[in-house]
């Protein structure tokens, strides 16, 4: 189950350096593990601003740990810190979404293959977060799916 949280905070009178993201993620992972959360994977800080430290992080966890994860994040905000980073308790957001589930991938051609220069349709049916977006690629380039191409 993917979890996403946004915490607003400020570092201790210093600007965020590239290594600080890794340190903050490490400290955050430690806090989450201390709450006996079964499994955390792919913990990643995915954004920050320069005027203050706005960190958004996401990770995957077990659905049964949902309340413990919420409690851990709330506790971090109440304590006002993650490691040596001070948190401002005026804003935090927690979002829980089901993981991406690829339900079906079909091609409207026989399974024996698609001949070069022939037309075909590829369809993908997936289930997941409302913010999920898909991009199709052909030969490493993004395909503009809104335009008919031949």
Lowest mean pLDDT among 59-68, 104-113, 118-127: 59-68
Q: Higher-confidence residue: 47 or 103?
A: 103
Name the pTM for this structure.
0.51
Residue 109: pLDDT above 80? yes
Q: Higher-confidence residue: 114 or 16?
A: 114
**Section 69-83 average pLDDT:** 79
**Section 105-124 average pLDDT:** 84
Residue 147: pLDDT above 80? no
User: What residue has token string 């335009």?
Assistant: 147
Q: Higher-confidence residue: 138 or 132?
A: 138
Q: Could you write out the three-class secondary structure of the chain?
A: CEEEEEEEEECCCCCCCHHHHHHHHHHHHHHHHHCCCCCEEEEEEEECCCCCEEEEEEEEECHHHHHHHHHHHHHHHHHCEECCEEEEEEEEEEEECCCCEEEEEEECCCCCCCCCCCCCCEEEEEECCCCCCCCEEECCEEECCCCCCC
pLDDT of 8 reads 45
Sketch out the chain's domains with CATH numbers. Answer: 2-96 (3.30.70.260), 101-143 (no CATH)
Mean of per-residue pLDDT scores for the chain: 71
Q: Higher-confidence residue: 132 or 116?
A: 116
Highest mean pLDDT of the ranges 48-62, 86-100, 109-123 = 109-123
């Amino acid at each position: 189950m993917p979890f996403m949280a946004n915490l607003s905070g400020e570092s201790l009178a210093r600007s965020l350096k590239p290594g600080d993201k890794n340190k903050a993620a490490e400290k955050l992972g430690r806090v989450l593990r201390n709450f006996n959360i079964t499994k955390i994977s792919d913990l990643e800080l995915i954004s920050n601003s320069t005027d203050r430290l706005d960190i958004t992080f996401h990770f995957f966890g077990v659905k049964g740990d949902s309340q413990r994860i919420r409690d851990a994040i709330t506790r971090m905000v109440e304590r006002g810190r993650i490691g040596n980073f001070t948190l401002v308790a005026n804003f935090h957001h927690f979002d829980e979404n089901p993981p991406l589930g690829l339900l079906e991938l079909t091609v409207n051609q026989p399974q024996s293959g698609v001949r070069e220069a022939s037309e075909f349709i590829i369809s993908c049916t997936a289930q997941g977060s409302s913010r999920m977006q898909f991009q199709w690629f052909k030969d490493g380039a993004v395909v503009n799916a809104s335009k008919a191409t031949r």
